[in-house]
Structure 1
């Protein structure tokens, strides 16, 4: 049991909260990234990028938990409708906010912004509503993102691919077949991580062969390992599960760079082993915990509620903050008040989007379609 409300099929509230903690770490990671000068080694909260891999694994676990035993009562079309209703409204909002904030990022860091006509921004936004990636020839920012108005959209693109693969094929896999897929995906992940040019798994947001390889490498192991974890592991009750799982997650995401510039492979090994071994442990701990009082329930619910909205909306502020910091050559010490403002504003915007837009829209869509 994971909530204070009895239910026939317990809801893993602590896992929702862990997703929220990871999302907040992503915001902090991106804020500090503005001061790292493009250096992966000097980045503070160095492994915040692994939150994406954690999201993928958590999604695989939750999808398996929610749908593996329901395929006799739902169709593939029903499944896709449910996933679209859950994810797509905030995809649209993220693109709208990205378009609104686009010209505020005009700077030396993004010199092409000032010359981009409004119709092109609107076209990019409309394409972004579908999550279809734009090719490099349509890049309107200069970072070669498949979603130049809202960079984090790339991970939602791969999330949808994972959902399609699950619904059409992998849900029918035996445990043995799924284990083979996970093993091969894990081997590919380790190979890429330890041999990559930067000694990490960062990437996946561009429409070119090297970046697509990174995206699929980062997707396949964690998502389907999460699904396998759901199918094969019996969850035990664990005391103080939220405390231990959240501390372990924060430690992994905030851990300093491993190996330095001379031993890049060591950090790649850290990345891959964290994804392969530590993230399943975090999920196991979180799934085995219970929330026993109203205060803890409210904290976990709040973190879970804002997790997806903050991830998919915060980057418009990061674009503007990064451009301002780079143009004015501000250290994190000098920019700290502004950084805190960005962090808090990200939470406020996410919560406002959740309550004023996402929940009402999903309620309407569920009545109409799902």
Structure 2
């Protein structure tokens, strides 16, 4: 460890953060494979990866935009509208695709098994909202209070967008002590909501909206606060990178689900993992980690509707029996699907949206003045 070199002077890419995002996305995928298809749960606390996503988002966005948003009128600065436009371009293609795939599944289930489905009008209205990354706030006979029945993970993207826009509008110019106070208050809110609901797995239902808001405020705030305090971190040796990766896997895979333990993981252990990751951020952790990090967002955004389609078909063919360990064979196709979505849909759509928005925001040239005489 070289104590003389501090993180504040580091302007390069935090490669390890991308790798950990990929590991967390794969953990969520395996968690949902266990709950929806196999009956075998390898990552019983995989849902806590969402809290880690929020922390990563806070740090990475602060690294990319805090200085620019803090000086909107300066050269290279950015106003709230420009930031919102960039976040829309980044998040919308995958989110809309995931909602569309989930909506097709819900429609197919309504046709094949109407007794296990919401009414058609509720499906269509709920999916229309989900396509706009807006939640469904009513109770459905089959989907209950799910905010995004078309694609469950969209709940975290919705809350992340809200947090991103609120930060850019109100918090980016607040002092570090004020930010620390907000993080402390949100930590109290997380604990209170978790005790009230009896679990930390909150936010994906309308009945636990308060818990979802508390989780994103705490996680996103931790990332922002760590970015403000990163000057105090030393630059750590390469060995810390795999340690941080193993610590993340440990937190998500250890089969202990008591509320006190999950609160400790989300509010103490995972922030410490992020601190290690930032301190060793320029080092790689695992072979293939960079590729996994690159496909992490498409994997997170589309895996649930694809799993629902496969699990639904398997239940009909196997008369309701779970796939067991055979369900692990779904992982390579899901990774391939995420790669195809990234390269054939997400990246081209983002490039096209960027060009279109840039042209729309560019002032029209004035007509040439007519000279007389």
* In structure 2, C-alpha distance between the alignment counterparts of 1:141 and 1:348, rounded to whole Å: 31
* 1:188-337 matched pairs, under 5 angstroms: 188-193=189-194, 195-198=195-198, 200-208=199-207, 211-234=208-231, 235-238=233-236, 239-258=238-257, 267-289=258-280, 299-323=288-312, 324-325=314-315, 328-331=319-322, 335-337=324-326
Does the 8 Å CA contact 1:125/1:149 hold for their aligned counterparts?
yes
Q: Does 1:359 align with 2:361?
A: no
1:297–1:270 CA distance, 2 compared to 1 (3 A): closer
The number of residues matched between the two structures is: 340
* In structure 1, C-alpha distance between the alignment counterparts of 2:221 and 2:114, rounded to whole Å: 37
Q: Does 1:184 align with 2:182?
A: no
* In structure 1, C-alpha distance between the alignment counterparts of 2:114 and 2:43, rounded to whole Å: 25
1:291–1:297 CA distance, 2 compared to 1 (3 A): farther
User: What SS is found at the alignment partner of 1:314?
Assistant: helix
* 1:98-117 matched pairs, under 5 angstroms: 98-103=102-107, 105=109, 111-113=115-117, 116-117=119-120
Q: CA deviation at 1:120?
A: 5.9
Deviation per residue, 1:179-232 (Å, 9 max, x gap)? 111111112222333x2453x201212234xx1111112111111111001101
Does the 8 Å CA contact 1:185/1:220 hold for their aligned counterparts?
yes
Does the 8 Å CA contact 2:133/2:154 hold for their aligned counterparts?
yes
* 1:40-59 matched pairs, under 5 angstroms: 44-59=42-57
Deviation per residue, 1:150-198 (Å, 9 max, x gap)? 11111111001101210111112101111111111112222333x2453
Does the 8 Å CA contact 1:112/1:142 hold for their aligned counterparts?
no
Does the 8 Å CA contact 1:104/1:320 hold for their aligned counterparts?
no
* In structure 2, C-alpha distance between the alignment counterparts of 1:107 and 1:57, rounded to whole Å: 41
* In structure 1, C-alpha distance between the alignment counterparts of 2:113 and 2:182, rounded to whole Å: 41
Residue 84 of structure 1: aligned partner:
88
Q: CA deviation at 1:9?
A: 2.9
* In structure 2, C-alpha distance between the alignment counterparts of 1:58 and 1:124, rounded to whole Å: 30
Q: CA deviation at 1:336?
A: 2.0
Q: CA deviation at 1:68?
A: 1.1
Does the 8 Å CA contact 1:14/1:242 hold for their aligned counterparts?
yes
* In structure 1, C-alpha distance between the alignment counterparts of 2:307 and 2:283, rounded to whole Å: 37
**Which shows bigger deviation, 95-104 or 73-82?**
95-104
* In structure 1, C-alpha distance between the alignment counterparts of 2:42 and 2:196, rounded to whole Å: 21
Q: CA deviation at 1:362?
A: 0.7
* In structure 2, C-alpha distance between the alignment counterparts of 1:304 and 1:343, rounded to whole Å: 15
Does the 8 Å CA contact 1:141/1:148 hold for their aligned counterparts?
no
Equivalent in 137, 145, 152 of residue 135 of structure 1: 137
Residue 349 of structure 1: aligned partner:
337
* In structure 2, C-alpha distance between the alignment counterparts of 1:54 and 1:173, rounded to whole Å: 23
User: What SS is found at the alignment partner of 1:68?
Assistant: helix
| 5+ long unaligned stretches in structure 1 | 1-6, 259-266
* In structure 1, C-alpha distance between the alignment counterparts of 2:10 and 2:352, rounded to whole Å: 26
* In structure 2, C-alpha distance between the alignment counterparts of 1:97 and 1:336, rounded to whole Å: 25
Q: CA deviation at 1:348?
A: 1.4
Q: CA deviation at 1:85?
A: 0.7
Does the 8 Å CA contact 2:203/2:210 hold for their aligned counterparts?
yes
Superposition CA RMSD, Å:
2.9
- Structure with higher Rg: it is 2
User: What SS is found at the alignment partner of 1:147?
Assistant: coil
Residue 145 of structure 2: aligned partner:
144
Does the 8 Å CA contact 1:155/1:205 hold for their aligned counterparts?
yes
